[in-house]
A and B are shown apart, each in its own frame.
Chain A
Amino acid sequence: MSAKGGQVRVMRVKDWTHPVRAVRREVLTATPEVDEGKPPVLFVPGFGHGAWAFTEHWLEHTASRGFPAHAMSLRGHGGSGPAPEATLRAYTHDVAQVAASLPRQAVLVGHGAGALVVTHALARYPARAGVLVAPVFGGWGTAGVALLRNPVGTLPAIFGGRLRLSRRQLFSRELPDAAARGYTGRLGRAGKRAQWQLLTHREPEPAVGNPPMLVLGSPDDRVVSAAALGRAARRYGAAPLLFPGMGHDLMLDARWREPIDAILDWLDKER
């Protein structure tokens, strides 16, 4: 997956003739005390989550390690403007817009279905690096796993209803119940069409600018299977970094510090 290897797509008739509608976008920022010249990191939450999922822990922690940190909410999520008809293309546009608005070339970090959005955005924006956290690339396999694990919460989503992720899918037992309830209570929903596209979307186009890529997740994630995680990492020619004992929401779970430190260590090395 690189600009040099893949076939770029020059003709973008849809983007030219039906530009994605503008919408208010929430972007939350934490700035390091001294500018060490490290690249900005942009966190992209998955479906149902907003920028808030990163402001709990990862945003400040990233800034404390010298990286300007930003978390955004896709349209229709968190504090961004409403967008019931949002599509994967609109979400991709949101990420490409926010990335280009940052003062320097950014690292894109996508979580869950936000990782899928990031892989699409990487074809529209030459990121400094791409990080996919517990990536949900969708397809019918993912839906099958989710149906088995949480039939009541998943089945309506297949028919355009709301996807309800359970506490067990998102967090380990180590996270106190009150916190877990608080987070699941904040979950919203993605656009119907975007949710459907998660099952039916096309392969993302190759990333432009040949960015280094990192995939990480947990073998105990009850949304993304270990096999799916392995497949995602192999697409970029590497093995995933694994954090056993954690749930799908690595940025909110009890041991949130380990994965973000691993990401930032990797970024420090890549520079």
Chain B
Amino acid sequence: MSTSADHDRPDFSFGDNESGSAASHPGGRSVYDRGGAVCVIGAGASGLTAIKNLKEYGFDVDCYERETGVGGAWNWRHDRSPVYASTHLISSKPFTQFPDFLMPDSWPDYPHHSQLLSYLDRYADHFDLRPHIWFGTEVVRVEPVDGHRWDVTTRSTGGYGTERTSRYAAVVVANGHNWSPKLPSYEGLDEFRGQVMHASAYKEATQLRGKRVLVVGAGNTGCDIAVEAGQQAAKCWHSSRRGYWYAPKYVFGRPTDQVNDRVLAMRLPLWLRQWLFHRTLRLTVGDLTRFGLPRPDHKVYETHPIANSQLVYYIGHGAVTPVPEIIQFRSYSVKLSDGQEIEPDLVVFATGYLPRFEFLAPEILGTNADGRPALYLNAFPRRHPTLAVAGLLQPDSGVFPLVHWQTVAIARWLRLRETAPERATSFAARIDTDAGRRFNRAKVKDSSRHWFEIGHVDYLRALQRTLDELETAP
């Protein structure tokens, strides 16, 4: 593995190089002026594709990454990685790979997380991105200065050493949104004597072995962990508040997302697609209420479907027991909404994550009191044209292709502002009117879990229009 020491760093010496020079800050602190360079925060999938595409459009790029390697969520060595030993993709390969850097044909339809990490490592090497990345460096503050420029303050991840501030022409925030656990509050939780953990701390099946486990949450992670508990634990209850649509990973012998997009390509009306999907699930998975699972209170496509072929199987074996939502914790037991009381030794909260941008004042992203930012295309904030967020997406498909095109749009937008400012104004106006708009035809639930949910086809069509509009002369 190469480390930051192997590479030439961008030159931060005072004054005498082309792209970096010292400027003095109104507060008296010294600020390294990086000229027209763009700062990317985070070297996960989103940050990497941002660096690559900005480079392709001729920008100088500095990326700051708090960890010592690339890959973000997919690097299980990282403190905040949410992946567990058995994590496999839930989106099949063609929907997950970067459109211009294919995953090997020899890989399975749903690769393992370690393959994803090697893919991102290879992407970084192939496009020579590492020389742009400052590893072990955390961004602590991002402040607007001088019109549309930004002061980015960093320090080493451990918190030791001094802070340094560099001034950039633009900032792309790619810090991920699957690392800050969202924990629900319950009456009596503090008194509960059993073990409690968030799914982010779940790494491997040995943590469950022989225990009586209650898994809370029916998202993809909750279902994965319930399936593992079904095989490893002494007992597994799986609590969900609502009914979900459980799509198998395969229908008709093909990855389900591929079959689904074939139907999407026919451009049928939403109600007809929903009817078709319901029909297909009925035929393949059957009626889940027979297994004791709640009936979904919404139509498919209104929340992203759960892709899990095994949950129903383990419920069928009696290895996983579906239970309704939790009402209250007691010292040694948990009371459920159907009056039942169960006695788990371990409770795993697979209750999701919340986005966090501690380094930015909330008003910059138009963040509301709940913490949801208002962005156009989930990327562009109002009134700050040189700031963008990459990867803040919860699609019904893979994330990488969407972020790829998102960052191409960001690069085009930054270029267009320089080369054809008059054309850029109409896009700025659209950001203003459409920030916060959702890209999903179905009506999506409003919990934080579904904030960033988008239909990949609607979203990509919107991105295509944006890319065409932001097209710049070579």
List residues of chain A with CB under 8 Å of any chain B CB: 2-13, 15-20, 22-23, 93, 96-97, 100-105, 124-126, 208-210
Of the candidates B57, B102, B258, B265, the one whose C-beta lies within 8 Å of that of A124 is: B102
Docked complex Cα distance between A18 and B99 (Å): 15
From known contacts A7-B471, A8-B467, A124-B100, infer whether A105 and B460 are also in contact, taking CB-CB under 8 Å. no
Docked complex Cα distance between A4 and B409 (Å): 11
CB pair A19–B94 under 8 Å, yes or no, is: yes
Which chain A residue shows the least CB distance to B464?
A10
Any A CB within 8 A of the CB of B66:
no
From known contacts A4-B473, A10-B467, infer whether A101 and B101 are also in contact, taking CB-CB under 8 Å. no
Give chain B nearest CB distance to A251 CB in angstroms.
26
Of the candidates A16, A104, A125, A126, the one whose C-beta lies within 8 Å of that of B261 is: A16
Any A CB within 8 A of the CB of B287:
no
Any A CB within 8 A of the CB of B262:
yes
CB pair A13–B265 under 8 Å, yes or no, is: yes
Docked complex Cα distance between A7 and B470 (Å): 10
Docked complex Cα distance between A104 and B101 (Å): 12
Any A CB within 8 A of the CB of B472:
yes
Produce 1/0 per residue, B409-444, CB < 8 A to A. Answer: 000100100000000000000000000000000000
From known contacts A3-B56, A13-B261, A17-B262, infer whether A100 and B102 are also in contact, taking CB-CB under 8 Å. yes
Residues of B within 8 A of A210 (CB): 56, 474
From known contacts A11-B460, A16-B258, infer whether A103 and B405 are also in contact, taking CB-CB under 8 Å. no
From known contacts A10-B464, A11-B461, A210-B474, infer whether A16 and B104 are also in contact, taking CB-CB under 8 Å. no
Of the candidates A3, A18, A22, A209, the one whose C-beta lies within 8 Å of that of B106 is: A22
Of the candidates B100, B457, B461, the one whose C-beta lies within 8 Å of that of A126 is: B100
Residues of B within 8 A of A104 (CB): 125-126, 128
Of A17, A104, A124, A208, most buried by chain B (CB within 10 Å of CB) is A17
From known contacts A5-B471, A10-B463, A13-B261, infer whether A96 and B102 are also in contact, taking CB-CB under 8 Å. yes
CB pair B128–A105 under 8 Å, yes or no, is: yes
- Which 9 A-B pairs give the minimum distances between C-beta atoms? A22-B105, A2-B474, A5-B474, A10-B464, A4-B474, A13-B265, A17-B262, A16-B94, A17-B261
Of the candidates B262, B463, B472, the one whose C-beta lies within 8 Å of that of A4 is: B472
Which B253-278 residues have a C-beta within 8 angstroms of A?
A: 257-259, 261-262, 264-265
Chain B interfacial residues counted at CB < 8 A: 39
Docked complex Cα distance between A5 and B473 (Å): 5
Residues of A within 8 A of B264 (CB): 13
Docked complex Cα distance between A100 and B463 (Å): 25
Docked complex Cα distance between A18 and B126 (Å): 27
From known contacts A102-B126, A103-B126, infer whether A17 and B102 are also in contact, taking CB-CB under 8 Å. no
Q: 14 new A-B pairs (CB below 8 Å) besides A10-B460, A103-B126?
A: A5-B474, A8-B464, A10-B405, A10-B461, A10-B464, A12-B99, A17-B94, A17-B261, A22-B105, A100-B104, A101-B104, A102-B126, A125-B100, A210-B56
Give chain B nearest CB distance to A104 CB in angstroms.
6
Any A CB within 8 A of the CB of B76:
no
Docked complex Cα distance between A93 and B93 (Å): 14
Which B80-102 residues have a C-beta within 8 angstroms of A?
A: 93-95, 99-102
Of B99, B408, B463, most buried by chain A (CB within 10 Å of CB) is B99
Any A CB within 8 A of the CB of B358:
no
Which chain B residue shows the least CB distance to A125?
B100
Docked complex Cα distance between A109 and B320 (Å): 56
Which B94-153 residues have a C-beta within 8 angstroms of A?
A: 94-95, 99-102, 104-106, 122, 125-128
Docked complex Cα distance between A125 and B126 (Å): 12
Any A CB within 8 A of the CB of B468:
yes
Residues of B within 8 A of A126 (CB): 56, 100, 127
Docked complex Cα distance between A5 and B128 (Å): 24
Docked complex Cα distance between A6 and B461 (Å): 17
Give chain B nearest CB distance to A41 CB in angstroms.
15
Of B412, B464, B472, B474, most buried by chain A (CB within 10 Å of CB) is B474
Which chain A residue shows the least CB distance to B257?
A16
Between A and B, 7 residue pairs with Cβ closer than 8 Å are A4-B472, A13-B262, A19-B258, A97-B102, A125-B100, A126-B56, A210-B56
Give chain B nearest CB distance to A175 CB in angstroms.
37
Give chain A nearest CB distance to B7 CB in angstroms.
12
Which chain B residue shows the least CB distance to A6?
B471
Which chain B residue shows the least CB distance to A22?
B105
Give chain B nearest CB distance to A235 CB in angstroms.
14
Residues of A within 8 A of B463 (CB): 10
Residues of B within 8 A of A19 (CB): 93-94, 258
CB pair B57–A17 under 8 Å, yes or no, is: no
CB pair B126–A100 under 8 Å, yes or no, is: yes
CB pair A105–B105 under 8 Å, yes or no, is: no
Residues of A within 8 A of B122 (CB): 103
Residues of A within 8 A of B128 (CB): 104-105
From known contacts A13-B261, A96-B102, A124-B102, infer whether A103 and B125 are also in contact, taking CB-CB under 8 Å. yes
Docked complex Cα distance between A4 and B412 (Å): 8
Residues of B within 8 A of A100 (CB): 101-102, 104, 126
Of the candidates A17, A22, A105, the one whose C-beta lies within 8 Å of that of B126 is: A105
Residues of A within 8 A of B101 (CB): 100, 125
Docked complex Cα distance between A215 and B468 (Å): 28
Docked complex Cα distance between A61 and B471 (Å): 40
Docked complex Cα distance between A125 and B52 (Å): 13
CB pair A209–B56 under 8 Å, yes or no, is: yes
Residues of B within 8 A of A9 (CB): 464
Docked complex Cα distance between A95 and B86 (Å): 32
Give chain B nearest CB distance to A249 CB in angstroms.
29
CB pair B100–A105 under 8 Å, yes or no, is: no
Which chain B residue shows the least CB distance to A1?
B474
Residues of A within 8 A of B457 (CB): 11
Produce 1/0 per residue, B207-240, CB < 8 A to A. Answer: 0000000000000000000000000000000000
Docked complex Cα distance between A105 and B128 (Å): 8
Residues of A within 8 A of B471 (CB): 4-7
Give chain A nearest CB distance to B355 CB in angstroms.
25
Give chain B nearest CB distance to A18 CB in angstroms.
8
Residues of A within 8 A of B95 (CB): 16
Which B37-87 residues have a C-beta within 8 angstroms of A?
A: 56-57
Docked complex Cα distance between A37 and B460 (Å): 37
Docked complex Cα distance between A258 and B460 (Å): 46
Of A15, A96, A100, A102, most buried by chain B (CB within 10 Å of CB) is A100
